[in-house]
Amino acid sequence: MKLAISGKGGVGKTTLTALLAQALADQGRQVLAVDADPSPCLAGALGFPDELRAQLRPISQMDALIEERTGAKPGAVGGFFTLNPRVDDIPERFSVTHRGVRLLEMGAVDIGGSGCICPESAMLKTLFTHLLFRQDDILILDMYAGVEHLGRATVDFVDALIIVVEPTRRSLGTAAQIKKLAADIGLTRLWLVGNKIRNQDETAFLQANTPGVPILGLLPADLRVQEADRLGTAVYDHVPALKQETETMIQRLEATD
């Protein structure tokens, strides 16, 4: 199962990715979680210990590796470099595993094609495509805010695109944009997850205003989410209400798989 998590900035993409990844790992699934944010923070949400976090660095920042594989220094303009560098060893070599979740930090990936044609984007695009082709049991992609990264490669392979929203018009507006973009490239398997919900009114608001995307789950606002971050513990362990709703969401996902 390959899942991509998207949505407006700050709505809870990373939190949801961490919840789903840990819940699936606890069920004994092999989980590869990929942090595609330019400033990664999935390791924190998963409660990875400091010594493991210290071993992680986004692939996008590994200049020597990018040069070794593409034949050109990152940032180089002009000149020759390979557009399909070797990447098959990267997920195993540069990820770390904690409690059954293997985590890879990619850094920002511009799959949509609006970015530069340069060694680093060739490297990341190839890696991204490789991840989508791999036969991982579970792949979860924590995408960064916005929609422009949603390219063809994404939709050909992800089983579901999960759009996280808060009970606000703005985040629902972004969700509608993502839905449109997804439709443009043929991805129709979408789910909406409402996050930071404080009361019945907010639940009703979300239900009445979804951009025609079925609701996978509704996660309550809980101050313990921030507390988990402060304490460096996994949000999955620290916030029982979220753990419980995550398990329900997984049942729904699997029922339609």
Ligand X SMILES: Nc1ncnc2c1ncn2[C@@H]1O[C@H](COP(=O)(O)OP(=O)(O)OP(=O)(O)O)[C@@H](O)[C@H]1O
Q: Which residue has the tokens 């995550």?
A: 246
Size of interface with Mg ion, in residues (CB under 5 A): 3
> Cβ closer to ligand X: 65 or 178?
178
> Cβ closer to ligand X: 10 or 240?
10
Please say whether the beta carbons of 196 and 221 come within 8 A. yes
30-89: which residues touch Mg ion (CB under 5 A)? 37
The entry of ligand X, Mg ion, none near residue 48 (CB within 5 to 8 angstroms by kind) is none
CA angle 59, 65, 66 (to 5 degrees): 75
Which residues in this chain contact ligand X in the complex, by CB under 6 A?
7, 9-15, 37, 144-145, 195-196, 219, 221-222, 225-226, 229
Contacts of 168 (CB under 8 A, 6+ apart): none
Distance set, CA 13 to CA 33, 115, 164 (Å)? 12, 23, 6
- Tell me: does residue 196 bind Mg ion (CB under 5 A): no
Residue 102's closest CA among 172, 210, 159, 29?
29
> Cβ closer to Mg ion: 121 or 195?
195
Would you call 148 helix, strand, or coil by DSSP?
Answer: coil
- Tell me: does residue 149 bind Mg ion (CB under 5 A): no
> Cβ closer to Mg ion: 41 or 185?
41
Stretch that binds Mg ion, among 29-37, 106-114, 120-128, 194-202 (CB under 5 A): 29-37
> Cβ closer to ligand X: 65 or 140?
140
- Tell me: does residue 13 bind Mg ion (CB under 5 A): yes
CB of 119 to ligand X, least distance (A): 26
CA 8/CA 50 separation, integer angstroms: 28
For Mg ion, the nearest residue by Cβ is: 14
Please say whether the beta carbons of 235 and 244 come within 8 A. no
How many H helices and E strands in the chain?
A: 12, 8
> Cβ closer to ligand X: 9 or 240?
9
Stretch that binds Mg ion, among 10-18, 66-74, 79-87, 234-242 (CB under 5 A): 10-18
CB of 255 to Mg ion, least distance (A): 27
Contacts of 144 (CB under 8 A, 6+ apart): 36, 37, 38, 108
- Site residues (CB under 5 A) for Mg ion? 13-14, 37
